[in-house]
Structure 1
Amino acid sequence: MNVNFQLLPEAIAAACLESKDLVLERVSELFSACYNANASDVLEGLEEREKLGSTGFGNGVAIPHARSLKVKRPVAVLLRLESPVDFAAADGMPVELVFGLLSPEYAGAAHLHALAAISRLARDEHTREALIEAPNTEAMYALLASHLERDAA
């Protein structure tokens, strides 16, 4: 899948985590395992971005994002939480879906385009519900792949 960002099938996971800090750690681990980024550097970047304001997007979705010298193009991970976690989102709703985004250090427009594509996905109620209800990560990937291919057409 590669429209405005790359999302590998193995970059999608489900987890039962109890705090925003644990969610950010797990997102960092996924970036490390799937895209060869340094987990502690990614975590530091995500935490710095959260200090500027919550990346809790609303409607049960968060989009933590950071920059890295280790990636050549925007890459994403998706974490579905087994039980919602408070992310200090503007709408006050706890988060169930976390789309992580890691972009090259100097990818200004590419980073913004990738964020915009993820936010479009997050605003689509049908897609959001389908991701939450999907039986496994393979089904989540298939759903996202078809959605992004349709948007690219």
Structure 2
Amino acid sequence: MNAHFRLIPEAIAMSDAPSKPAVLEALAACFENAYGIRAADVLEALDEREKLGSTGFGRGVAIPHARLGQVNRPVAALLKLSSPVAFDAADGMPVELAFGLISPENAGAAHLHALAAISRMVREETTHRILMEATDAETLRASLANANDRDVA
């Protein structure tokens, strides 16, 4: 879907996670189910990154991210939350979309490019609105495919 990171349909889901720790756990499970990366490793890495400062991006979006040796390129997962969750975002807004990113340990520039690509996508008004209004995983998948098509055009 994107040149900077891999996001497969199996890594896009709805979640009823009620708290920030539960969102991180749900993302970790999503990475394990979709990419075969051990959920415990993902959760530990995301927790460590979160201790450095919230990955709450703003406008109802969080981008939890970390680096792990189990991947050879940046991979992403997306959760649409059934209820907004407090995430200590800079703008104080609760999170409804959690876009997870796991990159290789040595992927300095690739990790930053992937984060930038995700942030551009969720800043784009039409994509942001459609993702926030999505009520099921299929709509999320179609919206992301369409956003990628717009980026290419």
Q: TM-score, normalised by structure 1?
A: 0.95
Q: Is 2:38 the partner of 1:49?
A: no
Q: Is 2:105 the partner of 1:105?
A: yes
Paired position in structure 2 for 1:75: 75
Q: How far off its partner does 1:122 sit? A: 1.5
SS of the counterpart of 2:71? Answer: coil
Paired position in structure 1 for 2:26: 26
Paired position in structure 2 for 1:116: 116
Paired position in structure 2 for 1:139: 139
Q: Distance in 2 between matches of 1:150 and 1:70?
A: 31
Deviations 1:44-94 (A, max 9, x none): 100010000000000000000011111111000000001000000010000
Q: How far off its partner does 1:40 sit? A: 0.6
Q: Distance in 2 between matches of 1:143 and 1:17?
A: 22
Number of residues of Structure 1 aligned to a counterpart in Structure 2:
153
Paired position in structure 2 for 1:86: 86
SS of the counterpart of 2:101? Answer: strand
Q: Which runs of 5+ in 2 are unaligned?
A: none
Paired position in structure 1 for 2:148: 148
One-letter code of the match for 1:33?
N
Q: How far off its partner does 1:134 sit? A: 2.1
SS of the counterpart of 2:83? Answer: strand
Q: Is 2:151 the partner of 1:130?
A: no
Q: How far off its partner does 1:18 sit? A: 1.1
One-letter code of the match for 1:43?
L
One-letter code of the match for 1:40?
A
Q: How far off its partner does 1:125 sit? A: 2.4
> Is the 1:13–1:79 contact (alpha carbons within 8 Å) kept by the matching residues of 2?
yes
Please list every run of at least 4 consecutive aligned residues from structure 1 whose deviation after the TM superposition is greater than 3 angstroms: none
Q: TM-score, normalised by structure 2?
A: 0.95
> Is the 1:3–1:152 contact (alpha carbons within 8 Å) kept by the matching residues of 2?
no
Paired position in structure 1 for 2:14: 14
Paired position in structure 2 for 1:96: 96
Percent of pairs with identical residues: 62
One-letter code of the match for 1:17?
A
> CA separation of 1:127/1:87 partners in 2, compared to 1, >3 Å: closer, same or farther?
same
